[in-house]
Amino acid sequence: MLAGTYNFSIDQGATFSRRITLRNSDETLYNLTGYTARMHIRRELPDTETMLVLTTENGRITLGGAAGTIDLYIADEQTATLTRDGVYDLEIQSSAGEVFRVLKGAVRVSLEVTR
């Protein structure tokens, strides 16, 4: 599986949610049953510090099992902490420990005026 590229736009101080549907090469839905997922947002690729972390464990990613969906959720309190653009990638991990990167790209932050 090769990672696709998708750029996100996030409004600072607003709730962010996005649904991604993962498909196999034959266009059937990818079964995510038993998988976990993680996504890191960093200022720049080589940075060791993260701006924000989304995982199935912290509730910011929900997997839809046989429906192949990946739901991303960032509460307004967390988007309020984002003050600059960054980069991200999204990985899934099977119950057997295999890791696949499914998406990568830029995160554009639209700064909030009303606070």
Q: Sketch the domain layout of the chain as residue ranges.
A: 4-110
pTM, 2 dp: 0.93
Q: 3-state secondary structure string, 52-114? A: EEEECCCCCEEECHHHCEEEEEECHHHHCCCCCCEEEEEEEECCCCCEEEEEEEEEEEECCCC
Structure tokens at 59: 């509730």
Q: How far is it, in rounded angstroms, from Cα 43 to Cα 106? A: 10
pLDDT given at position 3: 87
Higher pLDDT, 114 or 59: 59
| Segment 7-31, tens digit of pLDDT | 999 999 999 999 999 999 999 999 9
Q: How far is it, in rounded angstroms, from Cα 42 to Cα 85? A: 9
Backbone angles phi, psi at 10, to 5 degrees: -125, 130
Q: How far is it, in rounded angstroms, from Cα 80 to Cα 86? A: 14
Q: Is the pLDDT of residue 2 over 90?
A: no
In which band, very low, low, confident or very high, does the pLDDT at 114 lie, cut at 50, 70 and 90? confident
Q: Is the pLDDT of residue 106 over 90?
A: yes
pLDDT given at position 113: 92
Q: For domain 4-110, is the CATH number 2.40.128.20?
A: no
Strand partners, 23: 29
Q: Is the pLDDT of residue 1 over 80?
A: no
